[in-house]
Structure 1
């Protein structure tokens, strides 16, 4: 919640400085229903941004997974498919502990980044404000984000899955309920 408040405040400040319209919506995390409900309530109460209802959050993440599955079934290699790359990036953001943001204007301009990068960029807007006034918000933000290098990161992509050789049913050691099965891809640079 602290990250969301910092992000919303800083981003609204950037939009005001550039005199641009800005709409924000919180989409939560996949499979964190109770946590998302709690955060959604706080966001609405504090009027930080819009927030989708529970069903729309589920549909958002489900649709991304469906898009990835469809692209995979059609044999699309990630290297040659920008949509598949972006879908996998958003799904990887969901697997992280940090926030993330996507900024877009219609269908022609888009930039996305993980929470730490985007929040630090919003907070250091004075460093790229002049560029934003020359190029526009999204191109300037993209250029600024490209200049930030991550020496340390840990990215996880968690996908629902079922594969031979792995038990289909495993019970939770804490409560005994069946656990959901996922595949996780991880890249951690320390």
Structure 2
């Protein structure tokens, strides 16, 4: 039986070779965060989150994508659709798989819209009917933790909990 990761990769490869994408000169590449790079990756995501937390001028869409990304820190199976260095959509791989499964339903929009817009439209439709649970562990930085935070996926006010973590290395 195919794992979720294998299914994701397989579907991504299938659509990457589709004639519509070839004609539109759209290239899809899969990048994975190696286990050896995971800690520094998540440290950078946390830093971006904390930097944007109290900046009123920070782009709301970027704040939400960073918040979503940080909520996936303790989960398996997440993905980012980006165009160059700009993150367009951040989500669970299970939702991305559903979008890829529906590719034949939305691929004809790629001539009228760009790939990201067509993908995001299908993604949004799926999110309307999918359930989710969003957990966000925020490292406490004196006075910087917000009192209220909206869910990056559905925009409802999140319940607030405090998480503690102990990491011990060696003997």
Change in 2 beyond 3 A, CA 1:153/1:108: closer
TM-aligned CA deviation for residue 159 of structure 1: 2.8
Give the TM-score, by structure 1 length.
Answer: 0.61
TM-aligned CA deviation for residue 24 of structure 1: 1.1
Higher strand proportion (structure 1 or 2): 1
Change in 2 beyond 3 A, CA 1:77/1:150: farther
Change in 2 beyond 3 A, CA 1:124/1:81: closer
TM-aligned CA deviation for residue 128 of structure 1: 0.8
**Structure 2, unaligned runs of 5 or more:** 143-163
The partner residue of 2:98 within 107, 117, 120 is: 120
2:79 aligns with 101
In the TM superposition, what whole-angstrom CA distance separates every residue of 1:29-88 from its partner, at most 9, and x where no partner exists? xxxxxxxxxxxxxxxxxxxxxxx361x32221111111222333xx33599644332211
Change in 2 beyond 3 A, CA 1:142/1:77: same
1:132-143 equivalences in 2 (<5 Å): 132-143=110-121
TM-aligned CA deviation for residue 179 of structure 1: 2.7
Cα RMSD for the two superposed structures: 2.9
Higher RCO (CA 8 Å, separation ≥ 6 residues):
2
2:166 aligns with 179
2:9 aligns with 8
**Structure 1, unaligned runs of 5 or more:** 28-51, 164-169, 171-177, 181-190
The partner residue of 1:83 within 62, 68, 71 is: 62
Change in 2 beyond 3 A, CA 1:137/1:83: closer
Secondary structure of residue in 2 paired with 1:153: coil
The partner residue of 1:154 within 133, 136, 145 is: 133
TM-aligned CA deviation for residue 138 of structure 1: 1.2
Secondary structure of residue in 1 paired with 2:70: helix
Q: Number of residue pairs matched?
A: 139
TM-aligned CA deviation for residue 25 of structure 1: 1.4
Instruction: Give the conservation status (yes or no) of the 8 Å contact 1:109–1:138.
Output: no
In the TM superposition, what whole-angstrom CA distance separates every residue of 1:99-137 from its partner, at most 9, and x where no partner exists? 221112225672332222110111121111111243232
Change in 2 beyond 3 A, CA 1:109/1:159: closer
Secondary structure of residue in 1 paired with 2:28: coil
